[in-house]
Structure 1
């Protein structure tokens, strides 16, 4: 028997984007205050899990920025590694932080290698934990006979 969660399917679209916006806010807020890449990545995982429950794990995996949790996690590791490259060429220790500002006309945006590292952590956490959660949800879908897939809800 195919059980549709019509209300969940209806609110999943807008709520997905609200949760992702909140995760980016937590990522950027943590630049100077508690929070940052790890907790922002966890919030992004909750958006992916919401989409998987509403539309199926395959649809949630396709909704990731890279279309693959493993690829997203690998890009996150690469971005995090880039944060240490400037210090490497200056002869300083690997994660020596560099700070700067980008003038935007009406204000200046503070940027640093710390933010680049946090973005890498954010992407890595989102990819790794979303992949784990989506795999577990896919197992549950297989036990249900595939009822929770997007095709089964059309």
Structure 2
């Protein structure tokens, strides 16, 4: 599509959609949302970008082939599930890590549930974009 209005609006909309997708990813392990829905939201941003600017521009904006993105997402999600084995817990048990500071001083606490959600996010984003790019090439 070659619409100046769509191309101009896409510049702002894609950024807002991607920020919203990250927000949904980060709040998802405590509230509704998470890696799956955030990945779908991010894929919709790239689909909108592809409609406005073309498939080649969307693929270059992604910078990583979507199949590679999906594969890394599966690896990250799988490894996050196995983290609990190092502490003697069952696979996919929740583990929390203090990254900066301590729990008492209000440090940054990250769980393997968030890491799993990031893996799901990358997997869904890569899989949906692989499908979208393949359908565009077929038409």
Category of TM-score, reference length = shorter chain: 0.7 to 0.9
Kindly indicate which of the two structures has a greater share of residues assigned to helix: 2
CA contact (8 A) 1:57 1:135 kept: no
Q: 1:84 is paired with a residue of what secondary structure?
A: helix
TM-score (norm. length: structure 2):
0.88
Structure 1 runs of 4+ off > 6 angstroms?
A: none
Q: Does 1:132 align with 2:122?
A: no
Figure out how many residues of one structure are paired with residues of the other and give that number.
137
1:91 is displaced (CA, Å) by 3.5
Q: Which residue of 1 aligns with 2:54?
A: 56
Q: Does 1:78 align with 2:69?
A: no
CA contact (8 A) 1:69 1:131 kept: yes
TM-score (norm. length: structure 1):
0.80
RMSD: 2.0
Q: Which residue of 1 aligns with 2:23?
A: 25
1:108 is displaced (CA, Å) by 3.0
The gaps in structure 1 that reach 5 residues or longer are 141-154
Q: 1:83 is paired with a residue of what secondary structure?
A: helix
Distance in 1 of aligned mates of 2:52 and 2:121: 24
Distance in 1 of aligned mates of 2:63 and 2:41: 15
The gaps in structure 2 that reach 5 residues or longer are none
Distance in 2 of aligned mates of 1:18 and 1:119: 19
Distance in 1 of aligned mates of 2:38 and 2:113: 15
Distance in 2 of aligned mates of 1:119 and 1:7: 33
Q: 1:100 is paired with a residue of what secondary structure?
A: strand
Distance in 1 of aligned mates of 2:113 and 2:3: 42
Q: Which has the larger radius of gyration?
A: 1
Distance in 1 of aligned mates of 2:22 and 2:93: 24
CA contact (8 A) 1:98 1:112 kept: yes
Q: 2:29 is paired with a residue of what secondary structure?
A: coil
Aligned counterpart for 1:90 among listed residues 87, 90, 95: 87
Distance in 2 of aligned mates of 1:41 and 1:53: 18
